[in-house]
Amino acid sequence: MKTKQEILERISAIKEDAQLIEEKLTQEFSKLHPDRDFMLLKFLHKEKCCWESAIRELEWALND
What would the 3-class secondary structure string for 12-40 be? HHHHHHHHHHHHHHHHHHCCCHHHCCHHH
Stated pTM of the model = 0.82
- Domain range for 54: 4-62
From first CA to last CA, the distance across the chain in angstroms is 14
Contact 51, 17 (CB under 8 A): yes
Contact 6, 61 (CB under 8 A): no
Look at the chain and report how many structural domains it folds into: 1
Q: 15-32 pLDDT, tens per residue?
A: 999 999 999 999 999 999
Residue 42 has pLDDT above 90, yes or no: yes
State how far the Cα of 61 lies from the Cα of 48, in Å rounded to an integer.
20
